Copies of this chain bind each other. A is one copy, B any other.
Amino acid sequence: MKTNDTLIIADKTFSSRLFIGTGKFSAASQMKAAVRASESELATVALKRVNPEEKSEDIHASLLDTGISLLPNTSGVRTATEAVFAAQLAREALETNWIKLEIHPDPRYLLPDPIETLLAAEELVKQGFVVMPYIHADPVLCKRLEEVGTQCVMPLGAPIGSNKGLKTLDFLNIIIEQSNIPVIVDAGIGSPSHAAAAMEAGADAVLVNTAIAVAGDPIAMAHAFKLAVEAGRTAYRSRLAPARSEAEASSPLTSFLTE
């Protein structure tokens, strides 16, 4: 069953296709255990937590301790200018040129701004960042981000933290079909079945945070997501049969009674 199926983004090669967010956990120790259980190799961290003047901060140290790569995000910024500044701070603080670009002006639904995101992406690519933009599931925007040089696109499945799943599936399918860079479904994934469905549709990876962090048992839930992502990826590579309108018997009809 072992196959060489890795995901490459910029200069990194990932065996795991589950990226994990680190917000909302009730304790750093719990987060650390969940990260380990997820077997993820990339964890997003909000910039505020990686204050450059306090590098010894618990959460940051906890994460590095697990060996996971850190992906700072620009959560909380509202414009391209703020995002570029935040990315620069993050680069300095975390010594990484990777940045998850999140620009969401509205505090209620936290939906991303397509215009500011494209502007910031273009500038950050010029400045040498590996840019991973969080965006609406907008196929045209995804192509434009690819054209300015982002290393992947991260379309949403549903609003952040809503746990509603792949509400945008019809558009994710188009994005996946058209993209030449990895497509990572971000936001909305509320259960392992949602993560598996994203992978079955051909997504290259998923990012999960809320559904793990606020579960009854976040550590076991992280393991469940790990399994689901593997299940979905394996199914995608094993070529699922399409849905059909009529039934088709699994068992041949028994004719013994009339023979």
A interface, CB within 8 angstroms of B: 1, 21, 23-24, 37, 44-49, 51, 73-77, 82, 85-86, 89, 102, 104-115, 118, 136, 138-141, 143-144, 158-165, 167-168, 170-171, 174, 178, 190-194, 196-197, 200, 209-211, 213-218, 220-221, 223-228, 230-232, 234-235, 237-257
Contact = CB atoms under 8 A, between A and B. Distances in A.
Interface residue SS majority, chain A: loop
B216 A238 contact: yes
Given A47-B256, A231-B228, A250-B213, A140 B160 contact: no
Given A76-B255, A138-B114, A140-B114, A244 B163 contact: yes
A30 to B, nearest CB: 13
A38 to B, nearest CB: 12
Nearest to A24: B250
Contacts of A254: 46-48, 74-77, 86
Contacts of A143: 106
A85 B256 CA distance: 11
A86 B1 CA distance: 38
B77 A257 contact: yes
A215 to B, nearest CB: 5
Contacts of A226: 231
A48 B252 contact: yes
B251 A21 contact: yes
B161 A140 contact: no
A234 B38 CA distance: 13
A139 B21 CA distance: 24
A245 B1 CA distance: 34
A224 B235 CA distance: 6
A162 B75 contact: no
Given A174-B109, A240-B191, A253 B217 contact: no
Nearest to A234: B224
A167 B216 CA distance: 27
